[in-house]
Amino acid sequence: MKQITPKLLSWASILESSTRDQAVTTASMPFIHPHLALMPDAHLGLGSTVGSVIPTLGAIIPAAVGVDIGCGMIAVRSQYTRDRLPGDRRPLREAIERAIPVNAGAANRKVSRDHTERRLELLTREAEDAGFDPAHVKKDWRLQLGTLGSGNHFIEVTVDEEDRVWLFLHSGSRGVGNKIAQRHIQVARDRCRDRGIDLPHRDLAYLEEGTGAFDAYIAQMRWAQHYALLNREEMMDRVVRQFSEWVDGPVERTEEINCHHNYTEPETHFGERVWLSRKGAINAEAGRPGLIPGSMGTASYVVSGRGNAEALNSAPHGAGRNFSRNAARRRFTRDDLRAAMVGIEYRDTDAFIDEIPAAYKDIDQVMADAADLVEVRHTLRQIVNVKGD
């Protein structure tokens, strides 16, 4: 750990100067308490750094929660081992791609599964209790439950160090969460402008606790967090079904973990109740199970939190980008991607060049930097990868 300023502690051994400067700026906001914790996977983000843990007193920065509210991971360990799987993995990948809409903006054609309808009924009641209609934010929000999205979101079949099979996926609150975030980021900008508040960056605009704007954001943000969690559960149900049909047998969920890494919640740190925004970080309080994915083609980790107080009981959420998407496309080729994905069943397309492992930080270095934040329980290696364009 390195103390960069009195209000900024960093666990990142790989830290670009632009990322450092952005974190310093966020940490300078007057309501940060006690300090901002920068995770090992830190990289530039909207307004504030992805891979940062931001405790705020009496205020919240919507852009510091992120635009994919509630984005996170879910993993299920099955009773199967690698030697019990069929040899041809392509049918499983294609079945998952048929069962779960992928790509940016993708949606289901209709709601046709009972478990989907039950989750949608719950979310509808919760939205009513929160006093808003999600359809006014995103018309097709119902049809996006159970969809993956694109970018670094993925579905994987993996095996651990004992060759046990885990089903693993990464996604968030889809279009409705993004729309909620963008709406309240703009509200925060407008309120700060109208009050003559001089911000170091417009995406550090904040909402003050005790105001109607703050309460509206918290209510809708919490709803989006739950949407994201249920979206992952919905997709996992579909993945389990496709996997079960592929192996021609039932799946026992011997362990299941579902955790956010873009969210905020009230917590107590260093004697103060704060709003703790984890923008690209997981809760790593002592004994808490968590998931840290690598990039496409690399290892992911099942971890247990160590409860590091200085890190605000937090840990990294993944590898973190080393090259922008455009830079990665200029630097790497489809043949480079193929070389990185040897032995993994995936959709071979130019669309994923910007997701090549070399576009990300070395996940082994990230995990080494996180050694005092989490204990590694399992290391997962991909055998099937599903992504959206």
Question: What amino acid positions are annotated as catalytic residues?
Answer: 317
If phi > 0 it is left, if psi is from -120 to 50 it is alpha, else beta; for residue 307 that is: left
Q: How many helical (H) and strand (E) elements, i.e. helices and strands, does the chain have?
A: 9, 17
Backbone angles phi, psi at 58, to 5 degrees: 70, 15
Closest Cα to residue 351, out of 175, 102, 22?
102
Buried/exposed code over 199-237 (b: 16+ C-beta within 10 A; e: otherwise): beeebbbbbeeeeeebebbbbbbbbbbbbbbbbbbbbbb
Determine whether 131 is exposed, middle or buried from the number of CB atoms within 10 Å of its CB (0-12, 13-18, 19+): exposed
For residues 317 and 338, give the distance between their C-alpha atoms in angstroms, rounded to a whole number.
Answer: 25
For residues 255 and 299, give the distance between their C-alpha atoms in angstroms, rounded to a whole number.
Answer: 19
Q: Please tell me the number of Cα atoms within 13 Å of 125 on its side-chain side.
A: 5
In 10 A of CB 299, how many CB atoms?
20
- Which residues have CB under 8 Å from 289's CB, separation 6+? 257, 259, 302, 303, 304, 305, 377
CA dihedral 305, 311, 314, 318 (to 10 degrees): -100
Contact of 255 with 76, CB cutoff 8 Å:
yes
Determine whether 252 is exposed, middle or buried from the number of CB atoms within 10 Å of its CB (0-12, 13-18, 19+): exposed
Structure tokens at 370: 């996180």
In 10 A of CB 161, how many CB atoms?
11
Contact of 132 with 220, CB cutoff 8 Å:
yes
